[in-house]
A and B are shown apart, each in its own frame.
Chain A
Amino acid sequence: QQPVQSPQAVILREGEDAVINCSSSKALYSVHWYRQKHGEAPVFLMILLKGGEQKGHEKISASFNEKKQQSSLYLTASQLSYSGTYFCGTIPPGNMLTFGGGTRLMVKP
């Protein structure tokens, strides 16, 4: 079963912050985050393996709440280059990376 992402789309001005949420109805072993720009392949951002783990990539960070089976991606002081579709991928029991429906992020000047 696919994890659920919210919001489905968000429009920001440069410099604004955004949060993308990912939740699953199943217990999770790990959460993966990828970004796909229009016409390109998805590109890896980060993996969170433990409950409560937080990671960062430049001004993009994420947290993983294992108990709630949720992860959030935080984009701080967004840049034009952050535009794209963000996917969370989850590994439930069965070891199969399953992606959510994606969140379209558009950053405007």
Chain B
Amino acid sequence: KAGVTQTPRYLIKTRGQQVTLSCSPISGHRSVSWYQQTPGQGLQFLFEYFSETQRNKGNFPGRFSGRQFSNSRSEMNVSTLELGDSALYLCASSLMTDSMNTEAFFGQGTRLTVV
């Protein structure tokens, strides 16, 4: 079956602009999580959605937002981009409602560069 698909793969934006990233989970997966990966900070949790509801949110400013649609596809939006937002944004989907005992499948990520 198809894996987690993230689009676009690469993106270059200018400071102050906004950006929307998309994630299509594995068919049947209802939980989608987003992570920011930078060389110095590792994988930082952004938010998690399940059945169109945000269940958890990481410690990021309000410029970072997300949503999930009825088909489980998810988008994240970053407004008023800053240079420090340059990173690899990873999406992960999982099957079950209980994330404690469920494997997460990661997409290839979207590489965002802010100039």
Contact = CB atoms under 8 A, between A and B. Distances in A.
Q: Do A and B come together as binding partners? A: yes
Interface of A: 2, 29-30, 32, 34, 40-44, 47, 49, 87, 89, 91, 94-102
Interface residues of B, number: 26
Nearest to A49: B101
Contacts of B56: 94-96
Given A44-B105, A47-B102, 19 more contacts: A2-B42, A30-B100, A41-B90, A41-B106, A42-B43, A44-B103, A49-B100, A87-B42, A87-B43, A91-B100, A95-B55, A95-B99, A96-B56, A97-B48, A99-B35, A99-B43, A99-B44, A101-B42, A102-B43
Interface string B23-49: 000000000010100000111110010
Residue of B35, B48, B58, B100 most packed against chain A (CB within 10 A): B100
Interface class of chain A by DSSP: loop
Contacts of B90: 41-42
A41 B41 contact: no
Contacts, number: 58
Given A30-B100, A96-B48, A102 B55 contact: no
Interface string B94-115: 0000111111111111000000
A84 to B, nearest CB: 13
